[in-house]
Chains A and B, each alone.
Chain A
């Protein structure tokens, strides 16, 4: 499984999405469950899945899938296809 696959699965499970709803440009404003509690779940999930522990500031600043990819890529986690 690639990191892109892991990220897709994580997003589907954290935000309870239909897999067909997911795309790599997804943003918080398009997801009902992406609220302040969703941010907490996402931060826990990113730690469990990718081993990176977001700071609270980083977690709050994540507003889209590209934001996640940018953050994790800056920590050396590759999302190259």
Chain B
């Protein structure tokens, strides 16, 4: 089985294509760059899409792309959606999932129609990503690949594809490198065919409360996934022989993967999220992602996270 991704265009192909009536939706952090490279009328996310729209081009992180998916697919026309990620990790440009932030709650929608029609890898955008954000995006990407691989809903073929993606990821530095865009899209396309697990269950449960309680702390999905990557993978390794067996069967270098997870682990970030995890553990257990973790997550397993022995 090959991972199915939307067709990939270059920026030049976007500019030369007959796209009809076009609007450009760009995250403020990359808006100036986008408006120079993509000479189409821009609009803000707060404005309604024009009735006669043919194509929406969205440039931004996963949150922007997900909002654009819902806007484009709710339109009366079949609006062509061209997604240009400004950051890797979410894989939103290749995924049928739309995660919408609605206050303290994250709404997760799954529908094949949410897969964008075209994706564009714009390498230059990787240069502008701040180092901390880039590192967290790498952790997000790893959490998609690992949880999709370990999911009880994954089959052998999908696991083999995701193992191939992870072998490529092991070769990449945990910093700004445009090659992350492609592996991120592939990891997410694979994960979308199985499920995610406890890392995402924790991230989805904690993100709203942490952001509300400490708005300046910079908590977001990628940072939470990165903070809990090593703790959850250690839990999975200790809780069952499944991880070790599958890693060996698919030629994954377990030691190298845990080394990467260790490099991404930030004890200070973990420590600041841990009290919220303890408080909300019963909600984490009920989260739909937790319930498809590769290893069963039980009420007593909070002790693993409180003990902080992730060696």
Contact = CB atoms under 8 A, between A and B. Distances in A.
Interface stretch (B37-45, B78-86, B134-142, B285-293): B285-293
B153 A40 contact: yes
B197 to A, nearest CB: 10
Contacts of A16: 282, 285-286, 299
Would you call the interface of chain A mostly helix, strand, loop, or mixed? helix
A40 B240 contact: no
Contacts of B239: 48
A33 B286 contact: yes
Interface of A: 13-14, 16, 33, 37-38, 40-41, 43-45, 48
Contacts, number: 33
B296 A13 contact: yes
A14 B239 CA distance: 15
A59 B291 CA distance: 15
A16 B297 CA distance: 11
Given A13-B298, A48-B240, A40 B286 contact: no
A6 B292 CA distance: 21
Contacts of A41: 291-292, 296
Interface string B269-311: 0000000000000100110100111111011100000000000
Contact of A40 (B282, B285, B292, B295): B292
A43 B294 CA distance: 10
A38 B286 CA distance: 10
Sorted nearest first, the 10 A-B pairs with minimum C-beta distance are A37-B291, A13-B298, A45-B296, A44-B296, A41-B291, A44-B152, A40-B292, A37-B288, A40-B152, A48-B296
Interface of B: 152-153, 195, 239-240, 282, 285-286, 288, 291-296, 298-300
Contact of A44 (B286, B288, B295, B299): B295
Contacts of B295: 44, 48
Contact of A14 (B152, B292, B296): B296
Nearest to B195: A40
Contacts of B195: 40
Contacts of A13: 296, 298-300
A33 B240 CA distance: 23
A8 B294 CA distance: 21
Contacts of B153: 40
A61 B197 CA distance: 23
B155 to A, nearest CB: 10
Of B152, B282, B288, B292, chain A has the most CB atoms within 10 Å of the CB of: B152
Contacts of B286: 16, 33
A33 B300 CA distance: 18
A71 B9 CA distance: 51
A73 B112 CA distance: 40
